[in-house]
Structure 1
Amino acid sequence: MAYLIKDQAAGIQGIDDIIASNGAPVSSVGDVDQLQLWNGHHRKYWNNDERMSPAPLARLLADSIGRGQRILELGCGSGRDAVFLQEQGHSVTATDFSGFAIEENMRFQGESGVSFFVQDLQAPLAFPDSAFDAVYARLSLHYFSDTVTQNIFREIHRVLRPDGRILFTCRSTDDPLYGEGDELGPDLFRSEGQVRHFFSEEYTRRVLAEESFTIDSLMLRDELIYNHRASVVQGFAHRSQG
């Protein structure tokens, strides 16, 4: 079942609220309207072949956890990974910053069983403590300052059950786009309106350790993103028992 909750203070909003806010800046990094940027990005690439089939990262998660898990996806985009994971027997809640992406997912994949929400990752995650067994985030956590990034990982830790898993990828400092545009902070750049925070292996380890995650695996690898080579950090970790 797909549905939305109107709870702006907690970071989840209804479609009407998102559409109404499209004319106002929403990002705390720079003067760019990141909501309009992402709505436009999803409109441009919505039917791209790359977005039609599940990513290898989603298959890795499916192979690494038992069936019937409660999974939260942060940054679901076209919904392909969320629907795939739901089809594997899991209960998936899929969120995205873009109201356009969530609206399209509800329109075309509303019968998938996935619950779709609009969620601004700069706001607290609007879910109770220990609500999920796993959090999945492919290329969605690398758009924020260090302070906001730490808050996001703290929120992920909160909504995971003890020993729950997180699997994510972020663009790395070895990425071809690293250094392009205006530097906003350490490893943080704005290029053509888009803000990107590039993760080093050292930074990834530090953020996970500070938020009481235990790393199961951490690697640098290359992948294609819209037919362009990208370098990403891939992290697999679990929440501490405390």
Structure 2
Amino acid sequence: MKTGYVELGRAQQERWQTAYEQNPSLHGAEPSAAARWTAELFGAAGIDDVLELGAGQGRDALYLARQGFSVHATDFSEAALHQLRLDAQRDGLDDRVTAALHDVRDPLPPADATVGAVYANVLLNMAFSRAELRSLVNEIRRVLRPGGLFVYTVWSTEDRGYGKCSAIGDGLYAKDGFVGRFFDLDLVHELADRWELRGADGYTEDPHALWRVTQAKPHPVS
């Protein structure tokens, strides 16, 4: 790889910041298919608090709040979070949604075992090394309460864009200044180590083929 991961992460943060500044509705206002599915799962599990990582401008965070969840949304773009806060205030959801600037390469802010559920839509397939991915998943397990759920979605190696972008090393690909990774099942299972893997389901949300992965933090053995 031509640049170190620190430099790569900084460059991607600037790239996303610019994209969000230029388009106040970059991903649209409608929630993702993952958010709709996840809201049903979390509701059925009796969860009421959600930590969303990589929330962007908040389309999923706002949807989850409308479904009655208390949502703490994080992203590494202040421009994205500014739009999220404006939309939450406009919709009268600022009592259910909080937003904080945070780079998930750093330790997560919550204390140990204090979060009911963590949600991350197309975050883990961004410009992370495999070591950074393992560290992030370990942090998520740390902050979840026993039995807490982690749902994430990532691009699949079945995606039609796989192999058509510029490879930059360590399984990462670049296109139009953005860098990401496509997941196969081996990587999904690697990141599920020390978890209860509840499901790894393939689905399509145009134009991408994705994995939707559900993991639970095990209860301690008595």
TM, length-normalised to structure 1: 0.80
1:223 equivalent to 2:202? Answer: no
Which residue of 102, 105, 114 corresponds with 1:131? 114
Q: How far is the alpha carbon of 1:75 from its aligned partner?
A: 1.0
The aligned residue for residue 141 of structure 2 is 157
SS at match of 1:63: helix
Per the TM alignment, residue 203 of structure 1 is displaced from its structure 2 partner at its CA by 0.9
- Distance, in Å, in 2 between the alignment partners of 1:45 and 1:223 is 21
- Report the counterpart of residue 121 of structure 1 in structure 2: 104
Question: Aligned partner of 1:201: which letter?
Answer: L
SS at 1:100 equivalent: helix
CA distance, structure 2, for counterparts of residue 28 and residue 173 of structure 1: 25
Partner of residue 192 from structure 1, selected from 142, 166, 176: 176
The answer to whether the 8 Å contact 1:172/1:233 transfers is: yes
Distance (whole Å) between structure 2 residues aligned to residue 41 and residue 234 of structure 1: 25
| Aligned equivalent of 1:22 | none
Work out whether residues 26 and 33 of structure 1, in 8 Å CA contact, stay in contact via their aligned partners in 2. no
The residue number in structure 2 matching 1:75 is 54
**Offset at 1:122?**
0.8
Give aligned pairs, total. Answer: 210
- Which runs of 5 or more structure 1 residues have no equivalent in the other structure? 1-24
Q: Please, what is the CA RMSD of the aligned residues?
A: 2.1
Residue identity over aligned pairs, in percent, reads 28
Residue aligning to 2:28: 51
In the alignment, structure 1 residue 146 sits paired with structure 2 residue 130: yes
Matched residue of 2:30: which SS?
coil
Question: Which of 167, 185, 189 is the equivalent residue of 1:182?
Answer: 167
Shift of 1:73: 0.4
**Structure 2 match to 1:17:** none
Letter in 1 for 2:132: V
CA positional deviation for 1:29: 5.7
Unmatched 5+ stretches in structure 2 = none
